[in-house]
Amino acid sequence: MVDLAIGVIIGGAFGKIVTSLVDDIIMPLMGLLLGGIDFTRLELKAGTAVVKYGAFIQNVVDFLIIAFSIFLLVRSINRIKKKEDVSEPAPSKEEILLTEIRDLIKENNQH
């Protein structure tokens, strides 16, 4: 339960960092590359309704960055776990006993 609480707290803080990255660095650079477009102000007016598709684009970029970051984190954790699992396990009691029997049979056959 504590792990879950820690995950939620870190996830919230990570979300704020990614939102700041997208809002303050990535989207202004994309706007500059696309001719000075401010994505947060992109909207369509249909009668009295206002569709703010620029904010949607910004949220999609937020999501993609968070998803990619989590993907990289999980992938690196899985690689670390695989390296730990590569070591051979200690032989079981049966394997030790069978090895001793094999060695005794070899000794008897040599005499």
- pLDDT, mean of residues 29-44: 79
What CATH code is carried by the domain that includes residue 51?
A: 1.10.1200.120
- What sign does the dihedral 16-17-21-22 (CA atoms) show? negative
Domain of 29, in residue numbers: 2-110
Give me the number of domains the chain comprises.
Answer: 1
Distances (CA, A) of 14 to 19, 25, 77, 100, 105: 9, 16, 18, 56, 63
Q: Does the pLDDT value for residue 73 go beyond 90?
A: no
pLDDT band at 85 (very low <50, low <70, confident <90, very high): low
What is the model's pTM? 0.55
